[in-house]
Amino acid sequence: MYLVIAGGGEVGSDLAKSLHTEHDVVVIDHSPDAAERLANYDVRVVIGNATDPEILREAGVERADAFIAATSIDEVNLISSLLAKGLGAREALCFVGRADYAEVLTDPRTMDILGTRIDKVLWPQRSLAQEILEIILIPKALDTEELAGGRLRLIEYLVEEGGPYAHRYLGDLEWPEGTLLLGVVRKGEFLSAREPDFAELVLEPGDHLIFVATRGSFPILHAYFAGTERVRKIMIVGGGAVGYMVARELERSGVELVLIEMDPKRAAWLSEQLSRTLVLEGDGTDLELLEAEGIEETDVLVAVTNNDEKNLLVSLLAKQVGVEKVITRVGRSENRPLFERVGIDIPLTPRQAAVREVIHHLAPGGVEHLAVIEDKVELIEVPVAEALAGKKIGELELPAKAVVVAVLRPRTVELARPELELRKGDRLLVLTPRELTEEVARVLGQTA
């Protein structure tokens, strides 16, 4: 595909780096620094303003399969998206930072008035809030994702120092029926369950175990890691868009909620909007305030202010007093390794969540990107080519790092087994390093 990206900042650069190996990518940015940032990638950089039609033409927007507006200014993204569509881009994807823009741009009446439509509106804060909600109510889980209409669950657990699985051979461990251990993420590297020496691996504290479980077996597997624990109290520091959306959804769950917001006007507004949340005006880095509001009895702390340093300090204070799970917003993706290095459980980047949405939207025909783990491994759903009907899963010539998770059929879902025979119309769930996605799709007959 031919892609034009407006904006060579953090979001645009992340997109270009993720997409350039599979697509022709052009980046428009007003600063020459963008060319330096992308010098080591197969990306053409056009210096100029993305709202200038001549600059858009220089970037070849009239033949673009997709135009992606990813600058830091909502108005520039909106105008450049409309211009790109007018000049002939097949699709326009537009990043926005404000909730009101997201609502207006997704209203069909707006598109009627403008005379054209933006094909996809990407709101990173909403994407981040959804990620937080998916993992917040399951103790010990680092990440989780429902699959196949809720019939399967992908889940990631941490091997803890002093826990039952640290320093043990994987081959000595048994898991409940109806679950599969798909692999281990160790220091950013994915070790697949299909690799020859996987059973000889000795688990280390800090390893992440990736499982898939059926609906019935998931509670049993979860008890292996969390026992009978459940989330009773959640504290949210930061009442911006992300904090508000998370609190609003959690009010339905019946847990005890405390939200701390520093801005007096915002705190007053939140108090009016959230009927089952204790909203406090104050500084989330004030240890006395945190202790007064029972941080020691808090099961989950969510730090989602707009300041990375404040989020880091709040998170470290929470870990120091023994909060079991800490979920932290990291505004700048280059700061994420620092958060992980100092022991923050789940650092999440809103921009990365939205970038994954773009990659999913641009996926090859027939391939659906369902989840990304540690920004390195992804779960995809791929239809099986008719020519593979009758073959067994163990006979597929997939890369060793790729693991078939399950077979989806019209009325059933079956966890993968080497002897399971494929049928016409089957769809496979496959866990694979991101750089191998195209090869997996090719093996399964979805790309040339």
Tokens of residue 128, six digits: 């981040």
Task: Work out the pLDDT band at 10, boundaries 50, 70, 90.
Answer: confident
Tokens of residue 44, six digits: 């053409």
Summary mean pLDDT of the chain: 87
The answer to whether 2-122 and 371-443 have equal CATH topology is no
Q: Which residues of 323-340 are buried (b: 16+ CB within 10 A; e: fewer)?
A: bbbbbbbbbebebbeebb
Fold entry, domain 2-122? Rossmann fold (3.40.50)
Q: What is the CATH number of domain 371-443?
A: 3.30.70.1450
User: Is residue 420 within 8 Å of 391, Cβ to Cβ?
Assistant: no
Fold entry, domain 140-226? Alpha-Beta Plaits (3.30.70)
CB atoms within 10 A of CB 228: 6
Fold entry, domain 127-132+230-353? Rossmann fold (3.40.50)
pLDDT in tens, 402-447: 999 999 998 899 999 999 999 998 999 999 988 888 888 888 876 5
Give the pLDDT mean for 94-105.
77
User: Is residue 73 within 8 Å of 54, Cβ to Cβ?
Assistant: no
pLDDT of 282: 93
Domain boundaries, the chain: 2-122, 127-132+230-353, 140-226, 371-443
- Predicted TM-score (pTM) of the model is 0.70
Q: Identify the helix (H) or strand (E) that includes residue 14.
A: helix 10-19
Is the pLDDT at 382 greater than 70? The verdict is yes
